[in-house]
Amino acid sequence: MVLRIPPPAPASRPSRRCESAWAWSLPLVASAVRRTGATRWPPRYPRRVDWNDVRFFLALARSGSVRAAGAVAGVSHSTVARRIEALEVRLSTRLFDRTRDGYALTDAGRDTLPQAERIEREMAALERVLVGQDDRLAGRVRVTCCDEFVSAMMIGELARLCEQHADLELAITADSRAFDLSKREADLAVRTLGVGATPPEHLIAKKLVPVVIANYAAHAHAERLVNNRDDPASRWLAVDDRRFATQMIAASSYPDRPAWGAFSSLGLLLQATQLGLGLAMLPCYVADATPSLTRLPCPDLRHVADLWLLCHPDLRSNARLRAAREAVAGALFRQASLFRGEYDRDSCREHPDALVRHTVTKADRGNSPDLS
């Protein structure tokens, strides 16, 4: 901390009254420095706020942790802490209280939050407008989908697109979280919505394929699990949402089997089923393409959801995203019969190394949707 106090004029010694005034004002100056966090006094006139500082402020306000904010912003936690401190000094205002539990907004920080969010929306809108006018088949395409099995279906078609256009770059995320397309957290999203549900009105949406589930067990254990109710493993493997699992079991052909366990992802549920831990309700596009699984005698096929392809309207005319939309939609639509549960078990058994495979029929090729 530097206090820039002018020295006495060399021509004459200051009067006792001046010396007394300086001594009286020094505690006030020091108090102001401590209160504002300024590194000099008087503080410089606040400079223009950097957009990146607003990003760091929002990330920290939403997460309450510099490490989590750094992960969101793609920088180290020390960078977030340093930029927040610099922003507070620049504004001469403390935006966060540092506590043992993390960072908490002060009153000034809470007043700043709505304005920062407005800036974020405007910057995202500006970026979408600029990106939407790009007519080059070059640059990054960020795609998010609901699970790794769907991404395995898409990636082959997207890889061929990249082979045709070497300047394209892929960024694919398999995550059930709803990415915010307005903030450009992703360019395209393949999401699962319940039957009858509609996507957000502000997005361009295309319904692709149905999600049909059926009852399955490991082929090696199916007869034992179905016919021997006294077997401890003659039970339903459950997901985290036990209420949903209970409802589905009650409506099945095997309502007397109890729910057991809690598996947080589709991949874990599939592995548990393959190991013979119990019976499971799985999507047909996953289980029918897994040679070690078989349907139960009463499969109970049920249409529970649909896959949708979503995009922000500002990006509709972007050349690379338009090509990526067509590739994703075509890849999934051509495997619609696998999604519907109209499986070809012999075809799947020929490729045990494949995560998801299905024979493409001539009719499938002729019905690819136009998303231009």
- Contact assessment for residue 172 and residue 145, using Cβ atoms and an 8 Å cutoff: yes
Cα 51 to Cα 85: distance, rounded to the nearest angstrom? 15
- Of the pLDDT bands very low, low, confident and very high (cuts 50, 70, 90), residue 5 is low
Residue 350 lies inside a defined structural domain of this protein: no
Strand 40-41 vs strand 2-3: parallel, antiparallel, or unpaired? parallel
Q: What are phi and psi of 136, to 5 degrees?
A: -95, 145
Q: What percentage of the chain has pLDDT greater than the value 70? A: 77
Whether 86 and 198 map to the same domain: the answer is no
pLDDT over threshold 60, residue 357: no
Q: What are phi and psi of 367, to 5 degrees?
A: -120, 25
Q: Which domain-ending residue is among 132, 151, 180?
A: 132
Residue 70 lies inside a defined structural domain of this protein: yes
Q: Could you tell me which of 208, 210, 214, 173 has the C-alpha nearest to residue 194? A: 210
Convert the pLDDT of each residue in 317-340 to its tens digit: 888 898 999 999 999 999 999 999
Q: Which domain-ending residue is among 132, 165, 197?
A: 132
Whole-structure pTM value: 0.63
**How many domains does the structure of the chain reveal?**
2
Residue 109 lies inside a defined structural domain of this protein: yes
In the predicted model, what is the mean pLDDT of residues 28-47?
A: 49
Q: Which domain-ending residue is among 132, 163, 189?
A: 132
- Of the pLDDT bands very low, low, confident and very high (cuts 50, 70, 90), residue 364 is very low
- Of the pLDDT bands very low, low, confident and very high (cuts 50, 70, 90), residue 262 is very high
Strand 204-218 vs strand 259-263: parallel, antiparallel, or unpaired? unpaired
Cα 253 to Cα 263: distance, rounded to the nearest angstrom? 22
In the predicted model, what is the mean pLDDT of residues 96-116?
A: 88
Q: What is the CATH number of the domain that holds 144?
A: 3.40.190.10
40 compared with 214, residue with greater pLDDT: 214
Convert the pLDDT of each residue in 142-160 to its tens digit: 999 999 999 999 999 999 9
Q: Please name the helix (run of DSSP H) or strand (run of DSSP E) that holds residue 304, with its range, or none.
A: strand 302-311
Domain that residue 189 falls in? 139-207+305-333
